[in-house]
């Protein structure tokens, strides 16, 4: 409550506290080659960390593996604009082994509905068509088109799909096709195998920072102090990792 530049937000331990959003970009040798520090927005970290990668290696990464927290229009469109490969699941693969986001109501999630861009329709798991019926804006001024099926009443899986007597409906927001395309890409077993390498690359780095280096909270007040503390942790980690990668090093 005495940290004016931090933002009260949910933490990993399910509590709400004034905190920051430090981010890291790690290469396959588990060296931190990009870092960024922001009070609350991890999305902002993507562009500067990719630039740090370019400064070190002379090029942008051929493929970036992101966790589900980055599965949004802003981030995915950034990679599209740069023409870079990215794999970013909708679901929490490492924790639940789910590639798509599940419905909190226990119904079919939106991800199982396939969008047919040529005909501007969705196909449900039973291969029935959902057609556009209306458009509008949500409370956040995001524009959307609503799709609905007129054949739900006699569907054998009606209760697994919707609780509405009018049938199942889906909202597609402006720019959301890039998220749907990412879901389709990660249905490919080859893409899934490649993405599963992420855990072995970055999770040991998180463990080293949190457990061995004790980076579970910042001890300096204000953004400049906390940012410096984070940078020192990254330097300390990289020094140890560089020694461990050198010939004959023993830890």
The set of residues, in sequence order, having a beta carbon less than 8 Å from that of 168 and lying 6+ positions away, is: 108, 124, 130, 148, 149, 152, 161, 162
Where does the pLDDT of residue 250 fall: very low under 50, low under 70, confident under 90, or very high at 90 and above? low
Model confidence over 124-178: pLDDT tens digits? Answer: 999 999 999 999 999 888 899 999 998 998 899 999 999 898 899 999 999 888 9
Cα–Cα distance between 51 and 60 in angstroms, integer? 7
Cα–Cα distance between 209 and 31 in angstroms, integer? 12
- Dmax over Cα atoms in the chain, in whole Å? 69
Model confidence over 33-76: pLDDT tens digits? Answer: 999 999 999 999 999 999 999 999 999 999 999 999 999 999 99
Minimal CA–CA distance to 213: which of 244, 228, 234, 198? 234
Are residues 56 and 64 in contact, defined by beta-carbon separation less than 8 angstroms?
A: no
Model confidence over 200-218: pLDDT tens digits? Answer: 999 999 999 999 999 998 9
- Point out which residues pair with 9 in neighbouring strands: 17
- Point out which residues pair with 22 in neighbouring strands: 37
Joined together, the tokens standing for residue 129 give: 């068509």
Phi and psi at 141, nearest 5°, equal 65, 25
The whole-model pTM stands at 0.84
């Amino acid at each position: 409550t005495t940290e004016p530049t931090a933002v009260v937000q949910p933490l990993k331990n399910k509590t709400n506290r004034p905190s920051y959003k430090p981010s890291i970009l790690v290469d396959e040798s588990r060296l931190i080659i990009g870092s960024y520090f922001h009070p609350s927005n991890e999305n902002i970290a993507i562009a500067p960390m990719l630039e740090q990668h370019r400064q070190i290696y002379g090029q942008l990464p051929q493929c970036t593996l992101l966790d589900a927290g980055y599965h949004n229009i802003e981030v995915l469109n950034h990679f599209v604009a740069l023409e870079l490969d990215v794999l970013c699941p909708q679901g929490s693969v490492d924790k639940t082994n789910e590639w798509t986001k599940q419905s909190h109501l226990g119904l079919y999630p939106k991800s199982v509905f396939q969008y047919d861009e040529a005909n501007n329709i969705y196909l449900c798991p039973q291969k029935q068509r959902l057609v556009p019926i209306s458009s509008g804006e949500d409370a956040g001024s995001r524009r959307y088109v609503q799709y609905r099926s007129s054949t739900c009443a006699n569907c054998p899986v009606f209760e697994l799909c919707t609780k509405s007597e009018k049938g199942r409906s889906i909202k597609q927001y402006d720019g959301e096709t890039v998220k749907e395309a990412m879901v389709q890409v990660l249905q490919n077993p080859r893409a899934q195998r490649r993405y599963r390498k992420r855990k072995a690359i970055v999770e040991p780095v998180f463990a080293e920072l949190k457990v061995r280096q004790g980076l579970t909270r910042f001890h300096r007040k204000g953004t400049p102090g906390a940012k410096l503390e984070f940078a020192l942790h990254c330097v300390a980690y990289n020094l140890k990792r560089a020694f461990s990668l050198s010939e004959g090093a023993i830890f």
